[in-house]
Structure formats: C-alpha cells, structure tokens
Structure 1
Amino acid sequence: MTFLRRERLVGHLDQARPTPLTVVHGAAGAGKTLLVADWASARDGPVAWLTARVADKGCGTFWAYLLQALRHASVPLATGVGFPTEPGQVHDALLIRLAAELNARNVPVIVVIDEFDRAADSEIADQLEFVLQQAGHGMRLVLVTRTEPLLPLHRYRAAGAVTEIRNAELAFTLDEAAELLALHGLRLPAGDVGALVERTRGWAAGLRLCALAAQAEPDPGAYLKEFEADRTTIADFLLAEVLKRQKPETQDLLLRISVLERFCPDLANALTGRTDAELILGELHRENAFVEYFGHAWFRLHPLFGEILRAHLRVRCPRLEAELHRRAAHWLRRSGSLGETLGHAAAAGDWETAAGALVGDLAIGEIFTGLRVDDLSGLFSSMGSEPTSPATDLVRAARELSRCDVEHGLCRLRRAAQALAPRNGSADDDPADLAATRLSCAFLEALAARLTGAPGRAELAAQAAEKLRHEVPGRLLEAHPELIALLLTHVGSARLWAGRIRDARAVLTTVVDSGGAEATAQARQECLGHLALIDYLKGWPDRAERKALATVTTADRGSPPPAPGPALASLVLAAVAVDRDELDRAESLLESAADARSLPLDPVVRAGESIVTGRLCLARGDTQAALEAADRAVVTDMASPWAEAHTASVAAAAHLAEGRPEMAVKLLAEEPDDEPVCLVEAARAELAAGRPGAAAELLDRVRPQGHVGPAIVVRAALVAAQVAGAGGDVAAQRRLVAQALREARRERLRRPFVDAGPWLRPLLRTVPLRGLAEGWLLPGPPGGPAWAGERAPLPVVEELSGRERDVLRRLAQMMSTQEIAADLYVSVNTVKTHLKSAYRKLAVNRRHDAVRRARELGLL
C-alpha cells in the first residue's frame, strides 16, 4: 500500500466543521480527491459523493445524480421532494423542497462534489449556492476542483464561512515526500529528497510517478537526480490532463513561453504575436494549470511542466525555439534583466545581442570581478569568430585578457577601438549605448596598459573614461560600480609601475574609500595590495603589513576568488616576514601568492615576486638563486624605476655575499641616484671595497629624505655605524647602532642586523645596547645574549615516537616517501601520517626543515 495519509491536511479538514463550505482546489494530480476521500471515510455521519463530470449534460442531470447520491448515502428524502424531469433544467420548487429537507436534519449531511471544475454552467453554481444557504446547518458542502468555483467566494471569505485548501498547501513537504518514497521502498538522503521536492514543487502525482519509475531502476537515487521529464509517464499525464485540455491558442502560448524561466504578459505577447496573454495567463493561474504567479505581473511554469513543454515544442516546431529565444532576448534587452537577456541571446546564437547587452549595460567588468566569471565564461565560450562588431570584439578581448592572452586581447581591442572612433560612428547608434561601449573600451585599454606596463596608455584611457562618464546614463554607473573601480585600479597600478608613487597612492586610495559594495570588493582588495606594496617600498613594514592583512582578510570573507590584490598582499607579507627573519613564514606566504595569482603577466606582481624571492634566497644563503630571481625579466613597454632599483639591490647584495664588492658598486652605479634602497646598498658596497668616504657620501644623500621609513633608516644607520667604526669613532658607532635598534624594535626588523656582518656581534653584548636588543633580537636573561642568527632552536612540542624517528632518519638519507614505505614495510599513507606528526612536533612544514631541526636537537 503506497497511499500516505497526511495528517496536517486531514486536520485542516477536521477544523473546517463550523464552515458550511469547504473548497479544496489545486492542480491535476495534486492529491485532492484522495485527501477528501480519506477524510470522508472516517466520518461518522452520512457522506454523499458526486463526481461532477455529469454536469455538462445539463443542470437537470446534475441534480438528479446529486439526489441519487444523497439517497445512496442513506439520507432519507421525502417522496415529495421530487425528481428533475428534463436533463437541461430543474424547477426551483424542487430545490426549495430539498433545502427544507436538509435544513430539518439534526446531523448535517456532508456533500462532496469532485471535479467541480467540470461544472462550467453558472446556473448550476447559483442553484447549489441557493440550496447551501437554505439548508442551514443541515448540509456541509465540500467542493474538489482544479479551479476556483463560480460561487461568490468573496462573500464566504468575508463572513468566515469557507475553508480553503489551496495548491500550495497540497504540495508535499520534505518529510511527507521522504515518507512517500519510503512506502515505495526508496530511502534517500535528505538532500536528494529536497532536490526532488524542489523539481516537482511537491506535486503529488509527480512524486508518485517518479517513485514508481525509480523502483525499476538499478540506482534509484541517480535516476531521481537525472531523469528526463519528457521521457516519463509524467509527460503523458501533463500533456493529457493539462495541455490538451486547453484551447489551441492557449496551447500555442504555453509551448512558446516554455523557453522562459519567468514571463509577464507583455513578454508572452512578444513571443506569440498576440495581445491577450494577460487574460490567458490569468485564467491558467486560476485553473491551477501549472502556471505559478509570484507577484508584480510575473509568472513561471511548474519546472516539470516547463521541461515537458520544451521537449514538445522541439518535436512540433523544431526551428521555432531559437527564434523564440531571440525574441525574448530583444524584449528583455529593453525591459528585463541582463542575465536573462544574455541567456536567451546565447541560446539563440545571437552573439551580437548578447555582447551588445553586456557591453551596453557596462557589465563587462563582471568578467573580472569574480562574481559571475564562471557564468559569463561558460555563456560566451560558444561564441565563434563571427559576428564582428565593437561589442563582440570587446567581449572577446575581455575574455582573452582575463586569461592573460594579451597578444590576442590587444588585437581585438585595437579593432574595436578603431570601429568606435568618432569618425566611424553611425548616425543610427543609440548615444547611450555608444557611450557605454566606448567606456567599456576605455576600461579594457586601461587593463591592457597595466598588463603591458604602459602608463602613458593608461592615462589616455583614464582621460577618455572621465569624459565618457558624463555621457553614460547614471543608472548604469550605479548598477555597475565595478567598472569604474577596476578602471581606476588599473590606472593606479600603471602609475605605480611608472614610479609615480604619489599619483598612484591618490587613485588607489579613492577606490579603497569608495564604499563596501560587493561588486567593487575585488578592486578594493587589489588597491589595498598596491598600497601595501607602496608602504613596503618606502620602508614602512608595519603599515604595509596592516594593509596587506586587511586585504587577505577581506578576500577570505568575500565571494570573489583569489586575484592580484590578495596575491600582491601575500607578497608584501612575505617581504615583511623576511625583514623580520621569519623565513619559513615568508616562504609559505610566497607560495600562497603564487597560488592566488590570477594575472601572472601583471608587471607589478611579477616584479614584487622577483624582489621578495631574491631577498628570501639571500636570507637562506642561496646567492645564486637570488641572482637568478633578480635577473628574471619583466618585459614591459616601460621600465619601472623602483622595480629596477630593488632588483639591482638584491643582485648587489648577492655579489657582496660572494665577495665581489666592485661588481656590486658597478651594478648600482647604473641605477637612479635618488632611490634610497640603492644608495644604502651602494654605501655597503663602497665600504666593503675599502672606500668608507664614498660610503659616507652616499649615506648623506639618504638622510634628507624624510619620507623614508624605518626599514631603510635602520639599514642606513647600521652602514653608517660601520663607517664610523672604520674611522675609529666608537661613540658615534654605538649611537648609530642604538638608533637602529630603537627604530627596528618597533617594527621587529631582525634581518638588517643579521645582514650587517660579524662586526655587530660584540657591540650587542655591551651595555646599553644589550638592553635595547634583549627580548626581540636577542634572548633575554638568564640565558645570556646570543646572536639573532644563532638563536637556540625551539624545543620539541612533544616527544617523537620511535617510528617517527625511523622515518626522519630515512628522510635525512634523501629517500622518497615511497622508498621509506618500502624500507619500513608500511603503506605510503602511514609514512605520510608519521611525517605530518613529526612536522607538527618539530614546528616545521617542510622535509629539509624537519631534518635540520632534528639534527639541531640531536635527534639524528
């Protein structure tokens, strides 16, 4: 037995006893008849049941059958009540006598009329209402119908004299659906049941037919997820019970609107070429004909009904579907949502309309914001090389630039820009659309300028955009703030690359302060990352860290995927970690930056990566790798002064570490003479070459620059201290080291003291310098001072097990995970488990670090 008694609905019918009229109305197959039959079977009093399909033979026939139903239910009726003598009419006297008989009853009779929607004659409805009114408490009428009955329900509702169970209440709940499936031997996870309820909208017949079909499948769960509605008995049911019962013009409308997710009368008229869609849709909704109304004149089809209608449309009119999508796209372009416009235009293969909508609505920035990247990428992936218009070229350029295909993107962009030149504009072009298209082109020009390191081109794009903003409707700019935010981001990045730090900071700050709209989240992240880099380049690591952390935190909270902002922020955090001699953390952050980078051709990110990688390699003592990182070319239209200065500084430091001071001096002499980082490194090189006077002159040129931050000041002070020491001025040397310690302590800058060389160690053991260094650069008492580079290893968090030591010994022999597993006769996963545990106990996260720590602790 697969019938499910639904107590909540039965209870609703029980609570309806005080009202003379109950109406149960819902779609075909909603379970109306079974519900009322189940409820009626449990009644103690008489229940007369009539199916109203006889009503089409006339009101006389209807009342004759109703009287017979009363007698069959053992309701005694006097002989004098009479009987209709003609199929098409019934005398009022008979109705009066019947009402009087019912009114005299002590126990009311329940009269159920099923399929009352077939009683289309208003005369029957009027007669039935008359009897109901005159019968008083002697009759309770229950109408089971697909549509609202012709009775004046508004009066009953106003008087509280009617109980209604509508289509929405008849829908199966999640728990009821799970119970129904279980009765069919199907026990599914709640998520699968929920998906089926959503697809069927809880429609009783749909759920039961799905369950019956799934019983015959080897994998019922998979079937219920993937079944094609048009290939099931559901299709037969809906076509027969819903579609074919409609008039031909209504059938045509239903088939045409099936291509739409939602529709209003005007849109339906656009697809049908008619003008009466409002009347037809209203009637379909009132008939519960699987047309759902969800407010503001908008409707939608039941999901299964829509699937079946679309399949039926393809069979009946195979060429019509694309044309309907095209009509829908053109109507929605003027009056609907962008997403629906794009979907229908793509379904029609009308790429010019799709691209025109995306560009004309200023939505092309969404390809880069992360909010709709996958949707837009998938939608336009089918667009071939035709047609060619400014809009289609711009969309192709945007997709190629987003994939870092700069060469092809620039080609498309040039062609679009040429077609959009004022001399090529058509008099028929809509001015607002044309301005929006040109602004979209300026946006992509700014991006291309950023990717190619062409700041002049970025400024031209910014100027063009500023003029066009006044020609574009304000509603578009408000709807898509990401376009201007991203454009300014690209301009700011290009200015930073050019070394125009103040101008870059101004435009980047404008974006960061623009508000918290989700659409501009990625642009704000990128700008914060660039501002963090500016602070780092200027020698302010603490400020840089705060901005970078804000960027990464924002990215973690938000929905956009990793982007250049978070990647750049991770690079800045890695650079700060190097300055603080937190090398493992720096390496981890550097790897995170590589994983997060979505625009690898962005020169700012590329240069930042080379610089940080070089500094980390220097700190690790790998001078060759540092030189390779510094020599890593970033090919752009214009060289960046700060990028060249910092990479030269890394290379010079590597040469110094390998004992080639003259090479370092020569290298830095080729760089701009106003870059503080180069001046400090050049002073170090001159000092190493035995020219303290030249070193002092270079340092003098650093001091007047008040905007230089502590990271540069500390290094300059340490070099100056070394110069003073070489000249025998011990007091000045101590004073300068003390100054460096005070500046560095606030920022926790340890690396400059490690890089300074062995001359510094004895000084740090003296008073008062020792007091300035203890607790952050040197361990505090009682263990005594030790050099920062010789800090005692941290203790093991937990004792290593014997098997973990076995694994570490083999790790030290450069054995692979597979080789260790074979040697110990265990699985690879077991080895990985031991390694993970050993890493945790040793406070490391890499193999060679684990071996090094184990050796330091005497475990190997």
Structure 2
Amino acid sequence: MTVLEGDGTSEEPLADPHGDPFLRTRFAVPARPVTYLRRKRLNRHLDEALRTPLTMVNGSAGAGKTLLVADWVERLDGLPVAWLTTEAAGDGPGMFWAYLLRALRTAGVALPADIGFPADANRVSPALQARLAAQLSVRERSVVVVLDEFDRVTAPEIAEQLEFVLRHAGPGLRLVLVTRTEPLLPLHRYRAAGELTEIRGAELAFTPPEAARLMELHGLRLPPAAVRALVERTRGWAAGLRLSALAAGQSPDPEACLKEFEADRSAIADFLLAEVLKRQNPETQDLLLRAGLLDRFCPDLANALTGRTDAALILERLSRDNAFVEHLGHGLYRLHPLFAEILRAHLRLRLPGLEPELHRRAADWLRRSGRLPEALGHGAAADDWEFTADALVDDLAIGQFFTGPRSDAVTGLFARMGGGSTGPAPELVRAAGRLARCEIDDGLTHLRRARHDLAEDDGTAAARLSCALLEALAARLSGAPERAEDAAREAQELRDEVPAELLERHPELTALLLDHLGSARLWAGRFEEARDALSTVADSAPEAATALPREDSLGRLALIDHLDGWPGRAERKAHAALAETERFGLPRPSGSGVERLVLAAVAIDRDELGQAQALLDMSADAHPAMRDPVLAAGRALTTARLHLARGEPGSALKAVEPQLAAAAVSPWARGQSALVAADAHLAEGRTDTAASLLRDVSDEQPACAVGAARVRLATGRAADAVRLLDRTHPERHAGPAVAVRAALVRAQAADEAGDAVAARRLVVRALAEARRERLRRPFREAGPWIRPHLGSASLHWLTTGWLAPATGATPHTQPPPPVVEELSGREHDVLRRLALAMSTEEIAADLYVSVNTVKTHLKSVYRKLSVNRRNEAVRRARELDLL
C-alpha cells in the first residue's frame, strides 16, 4: 500500500479544528510483530469486504482484530486504504470528520476544495457529507476506509453521518469497522440486504493447529495435548496465547510453565485489569469481581451476590461490548475462564474474607432454584459442609455416590469433608462414602450415628429414606438378607412421605434399593423373590442415573439363570448387562462384574477354557459397592470349576474351601461349593469324602442332586443313583445344563447294567439337549464309557460341527461354509476382543481407536459372517476356526 502526504491542493488543512497539528500516528497502519501468524481463513473472509459496503470486525480486547485488518490491507494492491484510529468520546463530529478527510488525503485520495473542512470540533455541515459521498460515488476504484477502535465513537450523530456517506457513496467506498462493541449503525438493514461482512469473537479465536503454529513462531514446540489445554484455558484468545508464549519462552520448562502458570500474577492479569475491569464503573466492577466465583449464571444469581437488582442490564451491556462476558442464551452468562481466574484473585485482594460468604449466597440461591450440583460445589467452596450434606440428602441424591454420571464428582467433593461437621446428613454422607469403598464396619458406625441423630432431631423423610437405602446396601455387603428386607420395608413406608417429584428426579434411589434387596435375596437362595426385585430394575427405563443398578441386576438375573441350568438365557442377560453402562459411556469399574463370571461359567460348560480365564480375570474390575458375598461366591466357584476342567482338583479344592466355611447363610453357595468339592475329591479317588459332602442334598437344588447321583454311581451304587434322580426329578426343575448331566448319569447306569438300547437313547437325549447350548463339558466329565456311543456312525449327525474329537466324537466332515469376504487384520483384532466379552468402549481403549471406529468394524464383521449379534459372531467365528 502506498501512503501519500496529500493531494497538493493549497486548501488542504494543516491542523485540526482546535488548531492543533494532526497526529500522524492515527493514520498509520499498525506494524505486525515478527511473531504475527497470518491466518488464511480469516483473510479469505476479509476479502469479502471488497464486495460489501460495510465490514465489521468485532471482538474483545486483545482478540487480534487490529493486526488482522492491518495484515489484510497490506495485501490490497492498487486500492487506496485510509486508516484512522479513532479517539475517545471527547472528539465531536467536527473533529471526527476533520481526521477522516485527512486520512483520505494521506491515502492519496484526491478531494476537491469545495468539500470543505470542519471549523468547529463539535459540529459539521451536512454539505460536507453530501459532497464527500458524491465525490466517492464517481470513483472508478473503491476506497477502503478502516476505522480502528470504533467502539470509542459513541456519538449517535457521527454514526448517522457516517451511514449517510456510506449509503450514498455506492461502490466507491468500502467501510471497515474494527470495534469491541456493536456500532450504532443500522446493521440489521445491511444484514438483511446481504451487504455486511462480519467477523466476530468466535471466529477470531485461535484453533489448536493455529495456536501450535503461533507457539512455533515464539520458538516453542509443544505436544498436541499441551496446545489443546492452552487453547481451552484461553478460549483461543490471541493476547492470552501470545502473553503465555512470551512467559513460557523465558522458562527452562515451557510446557510445565504453560500448564502451571498463575494467570493472576502475569502480564495477562495486567492486560485484563487495565483493558477490561478498570474501564468499568464501580457498580460493574463490583458485579464482575463477585461473578468471578460463578461458572454459568443468570442475572438473578448475580443479584444474589451483589445485593442489587441491576445485573441484567449490566451483563447485557458487557456481553454486547465484548468485555469477556459471554451470553450463552436462555438468560445465562459466563466469564472468560482467564478473566474469571484473575477476578477471583483480585477479589481476595480488594475484599478479603468476602469469598466464603459469596459462595454461601450462591449455594443457597442455587439450592432454592433446584440446581443441586452447582449448589454442592459452592457449599463445599464455602467450607459449609453441614449445608452441603443437607442439600445432598434433602434432595434425595445420596445414590449419586454409587451410580450416574456425577458419581465420581460427588465422591471427590465429599472426600474433602472433615470430621467437624455434625448432624444426620454429614453422618449419612460419611456412611455413603465408606460403603461406596466397601468399608463396611466404618460405614455401619456412621449409619448408627445417623440413626441416632435422626431419632433425636426428627429428621426429614428424605434423610430417613436415604438411611434406609444405605442400610440395605450394608446388609447386602455383609450378607444379611433379613436386615435388607427390614430396610426395604422401611423405605416402602417412607416413600409416601417424600415429595413425588423428588422420587421422579432421582430414579437411582429406587433402582439401587431394589438391586440391593434382590442381591440379598439371591444370597439367601430365594431365587423367585430375587428375580422379582431384580427384574423391576432391569426392566426400568434406561437412563444414565440408573445404569449401574440396571447392569448389576441384569448380571445377577444371568447368574440365577446359570444356577438354574440355562446357559443360553444367562449368556444373553450377561451381554445385556455389559451393554448397559457402555450405552451411556460410564467409566469402569462399573457394576459388580458378576456378568463376566456368568459368561466365564458358560464358557467352561462349553469347554472354552481360554476364554473363561480371560473373562474371569476381567471380572475383578468391579465397583467396590457391589463386591458382596454373591460376587465372592461366584468368583470362587468359577475359579474352582476352571481348575477342575484343567485337571487340577487340588487347586479347585483350595479355591472353594473358604466358601464351604463361610457360605452357611446361602444354601445355593453352600450346595454349589459342596458339589465342586465333591467333584474334586472324586477326581482324586476320595469317593467317601465326596459322598459325605453331598449326603444331605436338598430337593430344591437339582444340580446338587445330579452331583450326588454321580457320586453314588462312582461308588458302584447305580441303582441308588437312578432312584435319587427319580425322586428329585432334576430335569423337571432345571435347564439343559442340569438335564444333560442327569441324562448322562442315567445313561451310564444303563450302560453298566448292560442295557445298551436305553443307554444309547439317553445319550441321544443328552446330545440333543447339549447341542442347542453347545455344552461340551458334560461329555468330557462323563468318562471313558461314553466314547463308544459318541464314536458310533449313527450319532454323527448329533455331534458333527460342535463336539470336539477329544470327547470321543469323530471330527465333523462337512465344515461350515467359509466367509465370502476375508476379515481384515483390524477386524480380527476386534473379533478376538469380542470373544472376551469386552465392551465396545473397552475394545476402543485397548486398540487406541475411537468407539465409532470399533462400531464400524463390528458392522463389517457381522456382514462378513452373516450374523446380527455379538454372540452369534463369536460362535460363527469359532465354527470357521477364526478364533
């Protein structure tokens, strides 16, 4: 751009209306620093300014507006550019137009003498505007006029005069306004006509790639994560990034400096305090200092902190003026994070001791407004733990310690609570915190104190209901089903005393209570009652708040199916449990892990021992508040059965012996432990010991009845074994996993009696039942007698394709058809992890890819294998020897 001194006419004024010489710096295009980053996307947008009469670059102080426009005008070859930096509001219309005419002449724009010159600093003749507009309208080439810091022009008459010239100059004038605030021109008309180019603060913000390049210009090479964190903290604010880079450049560890720098003790603080805070009147400064403690807030909340009623007007103006206050819509505002950080530090200096009181005011207002999470945060910041605990308990939100997207936040918040706070609510919160970590004794201690305080203070129904929930959890964790029943009855009586909207707002409380009750009933062996409670949770509407109890309930329903001998049903429910928290993206550990134990047990029955071990290992990843006796028993039993399947009876006994001593309250845990121990003793030839373990068999445990029959068969009492099965009829009361074993006991008895026809018929029945569920293990356990039957040609049709040769069956002669399209390497990786029952989220984390990428691979795997579900894909892959 060529800048000329003047047009050579003798009429050209040499001074402004005050008689002072013109300040040449006001016409100078600002120089760019060597570290200036040219951003092509913004320059391309600015190029549109040549096609619209009006352009507005509107952003906060330090947003990079002026340097952006200065860099752009330097590239405008052949077009005259008049640059004028406006002054403060003291300049009247006469002064403004005198300087604008001088800027045009400085840019080489020839203006005739008859345009005139303002003689009065406070007024200007309408003729000047008309003549200037007429002169510009006949130009062949446009003149670009840049008015920098136009927010200083607050006189409405100047805006009206400028708009008159702009409207009548036509293509001869392209006006660019660089401003912090919305100018007084009728922007809506230009927008409606498509004659306005706008660049605002959001577009001026640096993106992470741009910030990385800016750091490189300052000699800093940062990892992408550090750049993203810096952009998030500064919200891409240009001045903040540059000042941060300058500070980091002086540090021996730039990355640590950027991560740890204290904004309130930096050049950033000086900039914002001088350019933003100190420009405001005292009332506005007071509001900003107090609002710095808030995240998102409405005018009413700001008024609660100031004690005044003017927040709405002040916030609207600050947002409009780009004073680092952002209007989020719906009456909500927020401060720039760096600005808020600096304001908080400045509040402590200017008004020491006021911060806790402001937090208390905010907490109280937010609690009354139903915004519990924010109320808890401010209550904790005020160190008012009695208020904070009361807010959580009275809102019936105690369940958030255990489930929902805010579980970690609530746990972390109350971890800071000391022992000085007294009353039922703090004790309930302490009990919840301990029980959430499975610290049962400490949890019960705090529960007793809470009950005592509630009895003395006549606590609210919400507090007593919260206490009942924690009592149910403690009973579940300690294996006390009757105490869980008492807590559930108390909770049911209290529900009518609690406002219905509270119960609706916190469905997790009811879900957790029923899950605890169902698990306690399961431990007691009351399967049908347990199924009723757990099914109510599992069938409830899916939502993030209830994801954990839904997952846990589905897993325990799967365990009931497994114990009843229905592996297919158990597998489906277990997979549904795994999918529950994945659906809401909740972090692990989540749920009890019992669903993986069930899948491991099913894998053992199918003789897939590698998969069983992997699932057993992953089942240890459980939520501490779900690590109850059911989980402990299930883990011990599955571990023992895996040892048995591997031919390690001694290890199986070691795994199950603690359960034999500790499981007295649980008939199924005692019975299943005795069954596994008996099988281990049988494997080592101790038939008398095995028989003694199963001597008192309950008719309500069909699997144990079959085990007792096997022991009698092993001791040569085949007729007693059959009589026992005839008396208990396990086939009628259980699923195929039990029925297959019962049929094989009967078949072996018939074989030993020389009744080959009956033996073959019973083996056929067992194979038909087992084939549907792919139950291989019972045939491996049966012993040598079965091999001739499985090897007979007449039974090939029942063994082909699923029963391995090791059991005595011949290999299948007609393998399943291959896939039409081969799986890719990555699809194989996904399939292998699918076989381990890993969730989509876990597969993504294990492969370092996104969840959406995993879902894409899964769709492709399903298509290539011609299946629709996870378990079908794994089964089909095993048939094709892909796993």
TM-score (structure 1 length as normaliser): 0.82
Instruction: Please give the residue correspondences for 1:717-728 in structure 2 after superposition, counting only pairs within 5 Å.
Output: 717-725=743-751
Change (3 A) 1:55 1:453: closer
- Larger mean CA deviation between 705-714 and 304-313 belongs to 705-714
Alignment equivalent of 1:288, drawn from 322, 332, 342: 322
Change (3 A) 1:471 1:9: same
Q: Distance in 1 between matches of 2:172 and 2:225?
A: 48
Q: Distance in 1 between matches of 2:203 and 2:777?
A: 71
Change (3 A) 1:72 1:410: same
Instruction: Please give the residue correspondences for 1:452-851 in structure 2 after superposition, counting only pairs within 5 Å.
Output: 452-554=478-580, 559-562=585-588, 565=591, 567-596=593-622, 598-599=624-625, 601-633=627-659, 639-703=665-729, 706-725=732-751, 729-761=755-787, 764=790, 776-777=802-803, 779=805, 787=808
1:270 positional shift: 0.9
Change (3 A) 1:705 1:88: same
1:503 positional shift: 1.6
1:279 positional shift: 0.9
Q: Distance in 2 between matches of 1:65 and 1:586?
A: 84
User: Does the CA contact (< 8 Å) of 1:607 and 1:634 recur in 2?
Assistant: no
User: Does the CA contact (< 8 Å) of 2:475 and 2:520 recur in 1?
Assistant: yes
Q: Determine helix, strand or coil for the equivalent of 2:49.
A: coil
- Larger mean CA deviation between 238-247 and 767-776 belongs to 767-776
Alignment partner of 1:52 is 2:78:
no
Per the alignment, residue 27 of structure 1 pairs with: 60
Q: Which amino acid aligns with 1:486?
A: L
Instruction: Please give the residue correspondences for 1:217-616 in structure 2 after superposition, counting only pairs within 5 Å.
Output: 217-335=251-369, 337-369=371-403, 371-421=405-455, 424-425=457-458, 434-554=460-580, 559-562=585-588, 565=591, 567-596=593-622, 598-599=624-625, 601-616=627-642
- CA deviations on 1:140-189 (whole Å, 9 max, x unpaired) are 44332221223343444445554433323333344443443333333444
Question: Identity across aligned pairs (percent)?
Answer: 62
Change (3 A) 1:635 1:484: farther
1:688 positional shift: 4.0
Instruction: Please give the residue correspondences for 1:32-47 in structure 2 after superposition, counting only pairs within 5 Å.
Output: 32-41=65-74, 42=76, 44-47=78-81
1:45 positional shift: 4.7
Change (3 A) 1:588 1:178: closer
User: Does the CA contact (< 8 Å) of 2:550 and 2:580 recur in 1?
Assistant: no
Q: Distance in 2 between matches of 1:770 and 1:148?
A: 85
1:762 positional shift: 5.1
1:55 positional shift: 4.4
Q: Determine helix, strand or coil for the equivalent of 2:147.
A: strand
Q: Which amino acid aligns with 2:339?
A: F
Alignment equivalent of 1:2, drawn from 22, 32, 35: 35
Q: Determine helix, strand or coil for the equivalent of 2:620.
A: helix
Q: Distance in 2 between matches of 1:249 and 1:392?
A: 39
1:627 positional shift: 2.8
Q: Determine helix, strand or coil for the equivalent of 1:172.
A: coil
Q: Determine helix, strand or coil for the equivalent of 2:61.
A: coil
Q: Determine helix, strand or coil for the equivalent of 2:154.
A: coil
Q: Distance in 2 between matches of 1:560 and 1:635?
A: 37
1:750 positional shift: 3.3
Q: Distance in 1 between matches of 2:171 and 2:609?
A: 89
- Larger mean CA deviation between 307-316 and 61-70 belongs to 61-70
- CA deviations on 1:39-97 (whole Å, 9 max, x unpaired) are 44436454443332254154444344344434444445555555444444445566566
Per the alignment, residue 810 of structure 1 pairs with: none
- CA deviations on 1:328-373 (whole Å, 9 max, x unpaired) are 2211112253332222222221222332333333333232226333
1:418 positional shift: 4.0
Q: Distance in 2 between matches of 1:616 and 1:141?
A: 81
Instruction: Please give the residue correspondences for 1:80-229 in structure 2 after superposition, counting only pairs within 5 Å.
Output: 81-90=115-124, 109-132=143-166, 139-229=173-263
Q: Distance in 1 between matches of 2:450 and 2:704?
A: 43
Q: Determine helix, strand or coil for the equivalent of 2:87.
A: helix
User: Does the CA contact (< 8 Å) of 1:526 and 1:563 recur in 2?
Assistant: no
- CA deviations on 1:379-404 (whole Å, 9 max, x unpaired) are 21111123123322222212211111
CA RMSD of aligned residues (A): 3.4
Change (3 A) 1:670 1:51: same
- Larger mean CA deviation between 72-81 and 341-350 belongs to 72-81
Q: Which amino acid aligns with 2:332?
A: W
User: Does the CA contact (< 8 Å) of 1:322 and 1:347 recur in 2?
Assistant: yes
Change (3 A) 1:628 1:790: farther
Count of aligned residue pairs for this structure pair: 778
Per the alignment, residue 868 of structure 2 pairs with: none
Change (3 A) 1:687 1:324: same
- Larger mean CA deviation between 128-137 and 667-676 belongs to 128-137
Change (3 A) 1:639 1:125: same
- CA deviations on 1:611-664 (whole Å, 9 max, x unpaired) are 222323333343333333332148889701111111122223333334333333
User: Does the CA contact (< 8 Å) of 1:367 and 1:399 recur in 2?
Assistant: yes
Q: Distance in 2 between matches of 1:136 and 1:726?
A: 110
User: Does the CA contact (< 8 Å) of 1:54 and 1:61 recur in 2?
Assistant: no
Change (3 A) 1:166 1:750: closer
Per the alignment, residue 430 of structure 1 pairs with: none
User: Does the CA contact (< 8 Å) of 1:110 and 1:140 recur in 2?
Assistant: yes
Change (3 A) 1:682 1:774: same
Change (3 A) 1:702 1:160: same
Q: Which amino acid aligns with 1:32?
A: K
Q: Determine helix, strand or coil for the equivalent of 1:388.
A: coil
Q: Distance in 1 between matches of 2:751 and 2:209?
A: 84
Q: Determine helix, strand or coil for the equivalent of 1:293.
A: strand
User: Does the CA contact (< 8 Å) of 1:369 and 1:522 recur in 2?
Assistant: yes
Change (3 A) 1:5 1:329: same
Q: Which amino acid aligns with 2:199?
A: I
- Larger mean CA deviation between 599-608 and 148-157 belongs to 148-157
Q: Which amino acid aligns with 1:391?
A: A
- Structure 2 gaps of 5+ residues are 1-33, 813-883
- Larger mean CA deviation between 493-502 and 676-685 belongs to 676-685
Change (3 A) 1:80 1:493: same
Q: Distance in 2 between matches of 1:158 and 1:683?
A: 89
Q: Distance in 1 between matches of 2:208 and 2:670?
A: 64
Q: Distance in 2 between matches of 1:339 and 1:635?
A: 46
Q: Distance in 1 between matches of 2:593 and 2:293?
A: 42
Q: Which amino acid aligns with 1:121?
A: A
Change (3 A) 1:417 1:102: same
- Larger mean CA deviation between 89-98 and 737-746 belongs to 89-98
Per the alignment, residue 874 of structure 2 pairs with: none
Q: Which amino acid aligns with 1:202?
A: G
